[in-house]
């Protein structure tokens, strides 16, 4: 674990944190839209996905 930490981190610290925060924000947005957003169209489109991922649904 320790060696892979060093060897496979090609980004500088600030780049890594920037990429990480951007990834978290976009990821949260996508998961929220597909899984939790209170929109009828989104709900119906993602209905089976929401149930099978166990998102709280209707």
Which positions touch other proteins (CB under 8 A)?
Answer: 1, 4-5, 8-11, 15-36, 38, 40-58
What is the DSSP annotation of 13-58? HHHHHHHHHHHHHHHHHHHIIIII---HHHHHHTHHHHHHTT----
User: Cβ 35 to other proteins, closest distance in Å?
Assistant: 6
User: Cβ 2 to other proteins, closest distance in Å?
Assistant: 10
User: Cβ 14 to other proteins, closest distance in Å?
Assistant: 10
């Amino acid at each position: 674990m320790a060696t892979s930490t060093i060897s496979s981190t090609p980004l500088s610290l600030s780049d890594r944190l920037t990429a990480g925060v951007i990834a978290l924000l976009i990821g949260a947005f996508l998961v929220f839209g597909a899984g939790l957003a209170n929109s009828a169209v989104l709900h119906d489109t993602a209905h089976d996905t929401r149930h099978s991922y166990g998102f709280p649904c209707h």
